[in-house]
With several copies, the nearest count.
Chain A
Amino acid sequence: MSHEMFLGLYVFVLAAFVGYGVIGGVPPLLHTPLMAFTNAISGISLVGSLVAAGAEHTTFSTALGFIAVLCSSINVVGGFLITDRMLKMFRKRGGKNA
Chain B
Amino acid sequence: MSMTAELLYFLASVLFIIGLRGLGSAETARRGLLISEVGMAAAVAGTLLHPDIVTYKWILISAGVGSAIGIAMAALIPMTKMPERIALSHSFGGLAAALVGVSEYSLHHQTVAHSTMGALGFEVLFGGLTFTGSLMAFGKLQGFIPGRNITYPFQNQSNIAMFAGTALLLVLLTIWPSVQFFFYLMFFVAMVLGVLIVIPIGGADMPVVISLLNSYAGLAASATGFAIDNNVLIIAGALDGASGFILSVVMSRAMNRSFGNVLFGAFGKADASAVAALAGSQEIHEATIGDAAMLLSSGQKVIVCPGYGMAVAQAQHAMQALAERLEAEGIEVKYAIHPVAGRMPGHMNVLLAEANVPYDQLKEADEINDEFAEADVALVVGANDVVNPAAKTNPSSPIYGMPVLNADLAKTCIVLKRTMNPGFAGIENELFAMPNTVLVFGDAKDTLEKISQALA
Contact = CB atoms under 8 A, between A and B. Distances in A.
Interface string A69-92: 111111111111111111111111
A25 B243 CA distance: 11
Contacts of B221: 42, 44-45, 48
Interface in B291-338: 291, 293-294, 297-298, 300, 325, 327-331
Contacts of B298: 89-91
B437 interface: no
Contacts of A76: 40, 67, 70
Interface in A11-53: 11-53
B15 to A, nearest CB: 11
A94 B328 CA distance: 9
A81 B97 CA distance: 21
B242 A16 contact: yes
Given A51-B50, A75-B89, A38 B214 contact: yes
A19 to B, nearest CB: 3
B23 interface: yes
A19 B53 contact: no
B343 interface: no
Contacts of B75: 81
A28 B30 contact: no
Contacts of B434: none
Given A71-B96, A98-B328, A51 B52 contact: yes
B239 A31 contact: no
A79 B231 contact: no
A38 B85 CA distance: 13
B455 interface: yes
B364 interface: no
A-side binding surface: helix, strand, loop or mixed?
A: helix
Contact of A65 (B85, B99, B290, B325): B99
B361 interface: no
B225 interface: yes
Interface stretch (B58-66, B257-265, B416-424): B58-66
B56 to A, nearest CB: 6
A82 B85 contact: yes
Contacts of A61: 103-104, 106-107
Given A9-B10, A54-B59, A66-B62, A38 B100 contact: no
B220 A34 contact: no
B402 interface: no
- Output the residue of A47, A65, A68, A88 with the most chain B CB within 10 A: A47
A67 B103 CA distance: 11
A25 B24 contact: yes
Nearest to A44: B236
A46 B59 CA distance: 10
A94 B330 contact: yes
A13 B58 contact: no
B236 A42 contact: yes
Contacts of B244: 35, 38
Contacts of B222: 12
Contacts of B291: 32
Contacts of A93: 329-331
Contacts of A10: 10, 13, 231, 235
Contacts of A7: 231
B96 A39 contact: no
A6 B6 contact: yes
Contacts of B356: none
B17 interface: yes
Contacts of A74: 66-67, 69-70, 73, 89, 92
B82 A49 contact: no
Interface stretch (B41-49, B148-156, B180-188): B41-49
Given A23-B247, A45-B97, A46-B43, 13 more contacts: A10-B235, A11-B235, A22-B20, A28-B454, A29-B290, A31-B251, A38-B239, A41-B218, A42-B214, A48-B96, A67-B99, A77-B74, A98-B330
Interface of A: 1-58, 60-62, 64-98
28 contacts: A1-B115, A11-B238, A20-B243, A22-B24, A30-B25, A32-B82, A38-B218, A38-B239, A38-B244, A39-B89, A41-B236, A41-B239, A42-B218, A44-B236, A45-B220, A46-B44, A54-B59, A68-B95, A71-B96, A71-B99, A72-B93, A72-B96, A74-B67, A76-B67, A77-B70, A82-B74, A89-B294, A95-B327
